[in-house]
Structure 1
Amino acid sequence: MSSNRVIFFIFDSVHLLDLAGALTVFYESGCCGKPYDMRYVSPYQNPGTSSGLGFTNVEPLSSVTVDQNDIVIVAGMEIEKWNRADDQLWMPWLQAAAKSGAIVASVCTATFALAAAGLLNGQNCTTHWAWTTTLQQKYPLLKVIENKLFVQSGRIFSSAGIATGIDLALYLIEQQHGAAFACMVAQDMVVYIRRDGAEAQSSIYLQNRQHINQYIHQVQDYITKNLQHKITIGELADLIFVSPRNLTRLFKSATGTTIGQYTQLLRQEKAKHLLKTKHKMAWIAKECGYSSTAQLRKSVKEAND
């Protein structure tokens, strides 16, 4: 049975994006027609974020009993401010959640909480790249996997840093509602495509977003949202009111790649993901913007060579 309840566990000094990234995926799922009942719990009455923002509409752990159909997501927190003297306030609840058979997932440094609760002993896991060595040293019974977006060990998931909570949440959405729906949610969020856990902690999308040109960001967002359509440089140029020639120059200067190369790479990434599903080749080709299944096969072969 699939779950329609997601319980977000919030430590004090939680990292806001670790929480908001995954949360937004489930919220957007509702906007796309598959709603979730989202609950927010904490061992603290008014937990705060690492950036100073506070929460008020948070339930005590005792008010929510987790069952096997639930998804529990523990957002990453600032390790230096994580108060281990409070373990008994939250650890039994988290252990009971795992014992119930629910999906329990950590984002970023929250893997430390799963490890402290004994949920990862002898299991594969991951965390933000800056903390993998510390995690392995502190919890030697774990098998810490480096440079992975997220790792699944049975019903326990751990994800790397920050935005990878989005990838993990999209994966969970896909498991419940299928690849086509996950792609719809990703597209609605202007996320280029859900990366799977086997891929590295960086992506084509993120590698080419490390610039501050807001107009090129706008063009990249448009490409991401319209991969299934034929995209011309003219229509992209019209978006930001420049000539096609000027756009070509600006795009290459900002991203280090051409518009054509960027679009092709995104299509290849999306195609490789969808080819892991049971969808027909013709549907995948159309979804990725290829004119035929032969073009799809050729493109993916080039990407793999």
Structure 2
Amino acid sequence: MKNRIIFYLSNDVHILDLAGPLQVFYESGEYGIPYEIRFVSDQNKKQFSAGLFSDKLTDFAAIEFDKDDILMIPGFSIQSNLEPNKSFDDWLRKAFENKITICSVCTGVFALARAGILNGLECTTHWKYIEALQRQYPKVKVMKNRLFVKNDTIYTSAGITTGIDLALFLIEERHGANFAYQLAKELVMYLRRDSADGQESIYVQYRQHINYQVHSVQEWLIHHLHQKTSIEALAEKVNMSPRNLTRLFKAKTGITIGEYVEKLRVEKALQLLKRNEKMTTISQECGINHPHQLATILKKHTGYIPKELKKLS
């Protein structure tokens, strides 16, 4: 898969709406999964809402989309983008029809709505523009109090820093939760989830703290799930007593080490079930002695036995 993200710069783009997601995809390259980053517009030069300029922009019409491309439209000053732009709207509709991943940050959603590709779909934007968006485009289903909303290949996010949340979510979808967590850690962020998401990944849950000892234990457990360990052994790795580690882990994550390990096992097992691995192999990878024990854990957390989960995946 070729990795490419295309940022469309409107008039008076808000810098953070562009820079936040941009940094995520830049860091992806630093961590071994590079993205070709393109900046396009309807003019060679654009001014940001804060007064800075960006030049040497590519004409958007010259872009030929590949199926795995991401097109992102950062937020902008609405008053500076009132004039219709038929060629751009047609370009957006073509991208939509070709199932290209299209994303907006903040007021960037207005460009999607104007092109008509949000009709009948749920979306979101900055809380300050919720009513204006719904009033101006009544065929669009505007959702309140949402970080971001996904509709097949269209993703819309709320204001400012939620563009980073959306970018990390896209990274997780394409390259896995572990890799997304590495980028989030590099950016000194934790991954949040939209309230409509059915399940958060354990690899990024319970990481909303900055305690390096607890993070170290979590990292070790993630990468050595197949190995037997003990509280004493984990405590030794971070130069703590077992008693203090137990207390600290619960204080920082809200769950016990045992509960965390069980959640890791469930997620690992679900991943391997999707790959049609044998239950014996899955049990070994999850550090569990017998498949029956794993089946019991899966039933407890998902409500389904392994055979049913395979059919659902």
Q: Same fold judged by TM-score > 0.5? A: yes
SS at match of 2:85: helix
Contact 1:66/1:100, CA 8 A, preserved across alignment: no
Coordinate RMSD, CA, aligned: 4.5
Matches within 5 A, 1:48-63: 59-62=57-60
Structure exhibiting the larger radius of gyration computed from Cα positions: 2
CA distance in 1, matches of 2:295, 2:53: 49
Single out whichever of 162-171 and 55-64 deviates more from structure 2.
55-64
Equivalent residue for 1:6?
A: 5
Matched, 1:279 2:281: no
Matched length: 286
Contact 1:126/1:150, CA 8 A, preserved across alignment: yes
CA-to-aligned-CA distance 1:139-178 (integer Å, 9 cap, x gap)? 321234676864233x43445734243223332x26xxxx
Deviation at residue 36 of structure 1 after TM alignment: 4.6
CA distance in 1, matches of 2:290, 2:52: 52
Matched, 1:169 2:171: yes
CA-to-aligned-CA distance 1:26-57 (integer Å, 9 cap, x gap)? x37x826xx55332335573665x9x797868
CA distance in 1, matches of 2:270, 2:92: 37
Contact 1:150/1:197, CA 8 A, preserved across alignment: no
Q: Percentage identity across aligned positions?
A: 32
Gaps of 5+ in 2: 304-313
Deviation at residue 221 of structure 1 after TM alignment: 3.9
CA 1:73–1:257 in 2, change beyond 3 Å: closer, same or farther? same
Matched, 1:19 2:22: yes
Contact 1:10/1:42, CA 8 A, preserved across alignment: yes
Equivalent residue for 2:293?
A: 295
Gaps of 5+ in 1: 175-181
Contact 2:266/2:298, CA 8 A, preserved across alignment: yes
Single out whichever of 113-122 and 189-198 deviates more from structure 2.
189-198
Equivalent residue for 1:31?
A: 32
Equivalent residue for 1:95?
A: 92
Equivalent residue for 2:70?
A: 72
Which amino acid in structure 2 is aligned with residue 246 of structure 1?
N
CA distance in 1, matches of 2:237, 2:194: 31
CA distance in 1, matches of 2:278, 2:71: 34
SS at match of 2:167: helix
CA distance in 2, matches of 1:76, 1:228: 43
Matched, 1:213 2:214: no
Which amino acid in structure 2 is aligned with residue 19 of structure 1?
L
Matched, 1:104 2:101: yes
Deviation at residue 303 of structure 1 after TM alignment: 0.8
Deviation at residue 269 of structure 1 after TM alignment: 3.8
Q: How does the TM-score come out when normalised to structure 1?
A: 0.68
Contact 2:25/2:35, CA 8 A, preserved across alignment: no
Matches within 5 A, 1:236-255: 236-255=234-253
- Bigger RCO (CA 8 Å, 6+ sep): 1
Contact 2:171/2:180, CA 8 A, preserved across alignment: no
Contact 1:125/1:157, CA 8 A, preserved across alignment: no
Which amino acid in structure 1 is aligned with residue 218 of structure 2?
Q
Contact 1:227/1:288, CA 8 A, preserved across alignment: yes
Deviation at residue 97 of structure 1 after TM alignment: 5.0
CA distance in 2, matches of 1:3, 1:196: 27
CA distance in 2, matches of 1:36, 1:301: 39
Matched, 1:118 2:119: no
CA 1:117–1:301 in 2, change beyond 3 Å: closer, same or farther? same
CA distance in 1, matches of 2:70, 2:238: 42
